[in-house]
Amino acid sequence: ATYYPACKGKVERLPRTLKTSLKAHNNLSWIDTLPTVLLGLRTAIQEDNNHSIAQIVYGESLRLPGEFFSEPSIRTASEGFANNLQKQMETVGPRTTRRNSSRHIFVHKDLENCSHVFQRIDRVKKQLESPYEGPFPVIERQDKYFTINIKGKHVNVLLDRLKPAYILAEDNPKGTTTDHKLQASDNKPDLTQKQSRTGRTIRLPVRFKD
């Protein structure tokens, strides 16, 4: 007699089925075989309801280990695959590196012979502040940088931060006047004696004679 008539003896027959399945594996360590046997019993379709135990409990069937990996549609021999891979890797060669930055640095040609230069300000500038500071005298010239005098200190500055400073030549010393200027001032025409088209002499007011 069954203890649970609603189960139709399935509860009592399960230990028998489990024991028979363990014996069928012919393994001395039944603990190692138990997970495989239980997985088979839970995924087996029952004849009376056409459903497995997993489908009744979880609503879907369990995925067996053999279903995790699908066989490829095209079978390739391991030796042929290795040979093809080797030939493919032989055709792959290292590519030459290239310079991604194509920025051209402008260097003024007058930097070669100028006596003073302006230095670009690379920091964050204030409002209405000039982008360059200087001029500073050039102490020494190199291929990539100049040595300039900034407030009594010799500082090396790259060429891309410099631009030439054009300084006017000094005039004659104060207190000296050339003869040409004196002669030009003596030959200055008298603007007070002008005549009109009719021949009349134009006399300017006194306030315009100075």
Stretch 119-144: mean pLDDT: 89
pLDDT over 60 at 86, yes or no: yes
Q: How far apart are CA 64 and CA 12, in angstroms?
A: 26
Four-CA torsion 44, 45, 49, 54, nearest 10 degrees: 50
pLDDT at 83: 85
Domain 109-164 has CATH 3.40.50.300: no
Task: Using alpha carbons, list the distances in angstroms from residue 14 to 20, 30, 41, 86.
Answer: 10, 17, 9, 56
Mean pLDDT value across residues 71-96: 75
User: Model pTM?
Assistant: 0.34
User: Residue 188: is its pLDDT beyond 80?
Assistant: no
Question: Considering the chain, what percentage of its residues have pLDDT values greater than 70?
Answer: 70
Q: Is 15 helix (H, G, I), strand (E, B) or coil?
A: helix
Q: Where in the chain is the domain with CATH 2.30.30.140?
A: 109-164
Quote the distance between the C-alpha of residue 20 and its chain's center: 68
